[in-house]
Each structure stands twice: as C-alpha cells, then as structure tokens.
Structure 1
Amino acid sequence: MNNPSDSQPHSPVHYCERTYRQRVCRVGLHAFQVVCQETDLMVQADRLLDDEAREQVLVCRGQIDGYIQRYPNFAVTLAPWREPAFAPEIVREMIRAGSAAGVGPMAAVAGAVAESVGRKLLDYSRHVVVENGGDVFIKAKGPVVAGLFAGRSPLSMKMGINLPDTRDGIGLCTSSGTVGHSLSTGSAEAVSVVSHSCALADAAATAIGNRVRLPRDIKAAIAFGKQIAGVLGVVVVAGREMGAWGQVELVSLKGKKG
C-alpha cells in the first residue's frame, strides 16, 4: 500500500509490509488512501474508487455529526445508548452494536464507517477491503489471512487469522490497550473479533479488551465475548500469551507475502 504522496500511489498490491495498516493484502487489487477530516481509510478494490469512497465517508460523517449536534452525550457516553425511533441507519447500527456489547455507541464508529464505505464500494467492485484504524471490512473471493498486529508482544505479526469465507462481507476489528487510539480500560496488546457486523466486531473488541489487564484475564475475557450475540470468533493477546475461540483459524505468517 502506498501513500498518496508516493511516486506510484495506485499500483496493484503485490507485497505489503507487516504493519497494522497492512494486515490484509490481496494480490491484484488496487490500494488507495482516503482521508477526510479525522477519518483515514486504506482501501483495496478491483479499481480506483477514491471519489466513491470519499463521498460515502462524507455521508457517514454527516449523519453521525448531525446526530451528535442534536445529542452531544452520544459522543462521550461509555454506556449503551437507547435506540431512538428516528436516526440515520449508521447511527442505529452503532447503537445496536454498543448495546449488544455493553459499551457506548462510539466504540463502534470505526467499524460502522468501514462497513458502510465497503458495502457502498461493492456497487462498483467485486472485492473490497476497507481498513479504518485497525478495523477492517472484507469481502473477497477465497480465503483471506489477516495478520494479527499486537504492538510490542513477541506474537505480533507472527500469527494470522484465516477467514475462509467472506462472501457476504465480514468484519475483523481490533482493540488495544497499549497501541493506537482505542479507548480501552484494559491493557491487552490486541483483542480481535470477527463478526458479520463490522460495528459489532468493533464494539465487542472494546468490551472484551476492557476485561484484560493481565494475561491471566484472557480466559474470562473470552468467556465474556462468547456471550455477545453475533460474535463469531475472538483472539486475545496479552504479553506473551494468547487465547482464541470460535470461527477463527490461527495460521503462521512465516514466509507469507500478502
């Protein structure tokens, strides 16, 4: 993946360095970055869709920002938000995801935007990967391996999560108490969640990560994650230890390129 300032910003993906932005790489897809205010996406698709992606980001931001102007507490609450009778669909999706996981709706915002943009781009491209701050919406033919980025843990980018079927689109979201801007009360290096709803995966990753302060908390945190309806799989990394449950197949990334 190249930045827009690079000399060849839109070349097809053949190899991706192993960073949190480049955990999912599909050979032959075009990669491009879309930045709009605080939203910063890395997108892969069959062709360049910068304008279409940016337009959908603006739609999402307009709907969320407009709702926050009416209800300022929506942006800061850490508790589930009561679903109103009238609200934009992306806001309702965030509310439902936060309620399912027991967290505030903004815990789902990155995943919700990633999926909204990704599904819009499916009008123009058969294959789409949208990454938004470590939260990824994926729809691709065949299995996809996503690298597990876990900051300073020795396990970081040594293992990947194999997703055998993304035909209808799937969310893979990661929260960390030690890396990035995720708001977490825990200290796990990474909590990754798989769900058909990217918003739910995002909210659930936050809720599960809040319960991990030491490696010994991994088992209980995963047990909590199992109870969240719609969660398909969970991976937790804390220090040198890892736990996993559900529809996640862990694979070695040794020697993999993209």
Structure 2
Amino acid sequence: MDFQERIQIKETNLLLKTDKKKFIKLAKNTILNERANLENYILRNKEFLTSYVPVEVEDWAPRIVKIMANAGKNADVGPMASVAGTISQLVVENLVENGCENVIAENGGDICLRCEKDTIVGLYAGNSPLSGEVGFKLKKEKIKRCYGVCTSSGTVGHSVSLGNADAVVVFAKEASIADAAATSIGNFAVGKEDEIINKCLEKAEDIENLDGVFVVSGEYAGKIGRIPQMIKTEKKVVLSELFEMI
C-alpha cells in the first residue's frame, strides 16, 4: 500500500494505509460524519456515553450507535467500549464500498482491514518480552472481506481497563465486536500473571462471535479459539507501525 496518513480528529487517532491517495479524503469525511452522528446522539442520550453495561437504543438511532450497542451487548460491556473499533470498521466499509481493494485502519490499537494479500500485523504488549517480537499472519482468504483485530491493555494506552493484562488481542469478523470483547476480557485480568491468563480465557469462552483470543501478561501468554499463525518479526515496533503485505 503506497499511501499512509495519520488522521487525528478530536479523540480519534487513526492510522490509515491504502492503495490510492483519494481514499484518504474519503476516510476523513467518514470519520467526521460518523463522529457527528455519535455526538449528536449522545447529546440526547447521556447514558450511552457513561454506561459500563449494555444499553438499549431506539430504532431511529444512527447506524454507528446501533453497531456499538450491539457490540456492547455481545460482550456485556457499555457501548463506548467499542467506539475505536467501530470507527475503524465504518471507515474500511465505506472505502471498500467505493472501490478500495487494500485498506488498513488502526485506531488506538483497534484495527479493521481488507486486503488482497496475506498481511502480518505486529503485536505490541507493553513491557512483555513478546512485545515487538511476534506478529500474526492473516491469510488473504480471511481478510478479503472486512476483518477486525483489536487489542485492549491495562498497562498501555489511555483507554479504560479494569485489569492489568499487557495485551488482550481479539480476532473477529467485525472490529466493533472485537473491540468490545477485548475490553470485556481485559477487565478480568487481575491477580498474578498466570492467573490473569486463565481468568481472561475463561471470560473469552463466554463471548460469542469471536474467532480467537490471545492474551499476554508478562512472560505468560495463552490463547483460545482460532488465531492466525504467529511468526517472529524481529522488529521492535508498536502494533500500528507493522503492517506488512506479503
């Protein structure tokens, strides 16, 4: 992908990689429109912003609101737990609808992508020895439609997490679903490092619509479901800096 730009609009900090420059402007417009839809809804429904549990929304609610509410319900968390992944998802969906063949949108560690080739996504897990050393090889058959790879951390970043995992990485067909699930699972990351892994994976078993989950806490790691092939990257980079189509 030849074109890359970081798009910062209020709380949204999205790294976009795509194959044509024209799609960058479309992505910016998508973010502006979807943020406006969300902000206008929150003005009339304050609970949507503050709730840590799922909320019901009206039939007339904007699509972004419905997607977030559904993701929160699926993972038993508040709807705002999925906001970053949902915006990534809506950006990619809109670009694909307009003819974009290869696109990756990473918003605070929450990724939606659609690519024609196998793609490696690097793992960033704070001070864990695994951080920057391994990546996930996503097969083109899996990502020829929009796909979500979202990460929650209790030790990295500013997002709210009630646990202390270095990284909870969730793979799902929808980034919104993956984002909310990563937050929900990460909230159970309490105790010693090995206990954190077990508690997170037990919670992951209870959440539907996920392909797989990978949890990192210090020197410990565990997985459940089907995760992509892991490969050694030998690149000390953060998640958003390693996207490699192969």
Structure of higher RCO (CA pairs closer than 8 Å, 6+ residues apart): 2
Aligned residue pair count: 231
User: Tell me, which stretches of 5 or more residues in structure 1 are unaligned?
Assistant: 1-27
Structure 2 counterpart of 1:156, from 121, 125, 131: 131
Matched residue, 2:232 = 252
Counterpart amino acid of residue 164 in structure 2: S
- Report the 3-state secondary structure (helix = DSSP H, G, I; strand = E; otherwise coil) of the residue aligned with 1:181: coil
Distance in 2 between the 1:70 and 1:109 partners? 18
The CA deviation at 1:212 is 0.8
Distance in 2 between the 1:217 and 1:131 partners? 26
- Report the 3-state secondary structure (helix = DSSP H, G, I; strand = E; otherwise coil) of the residue aligned with 1:178: coil
- Report the 3-state secondary structure (helix = DSSP H, G, I; strand = E; otherwise coil) of the residue aligned with 1:231: coil
| Residues 190-246 of structure 1: CA deviation (Å, up to 9, x unaligned) | 001011111110000000000012321212311321321111110100111111122
The CA deviation at 1:156 is 0.4
Aligned CA-pair RMSD: 1.5
TM-score by length of 2: 0.90
Structure 2 counterpart of 1:141, from 94, 101, 116: 116
User: Tell me, which stretches of 5 or more residues in structure 2 are unaligned?
Assistant: 237-241
The CA deviation at 1:155 is 1.0
TM-score by length of 1: 0.86
| Residues 153-197 of structure 1: CA deviation (Å, up to 9, x unaligned) | 111011112221201110000000010012100000100101111
- The structure with more helix, counted as a fraction of residues: 2
Distance 1:96 1:255, change over 3 A: closer
Matched residue, 1:14 = none
Kept after mapping to 1: 8 A contact 2:212/2:225: yes
Mapped pair 1:121 → 2:121 = no
Kept after mapping to 2: 8 A contact 1:83/1:96: no
Distance in 1 between the 2:112 and 2:61 partners? 23
Distance in 2 between the 1:53 and 1:195 partners? 22
Structure 2 counterpart of 1:174, from 151, 157, 160: 151
Matched residue, 1:31 = 4
Distance in 1 between the 2:41 and 2:58 partners? 11
Matched residue, 1:222 = 201
Matched residue, 2:40 = 66
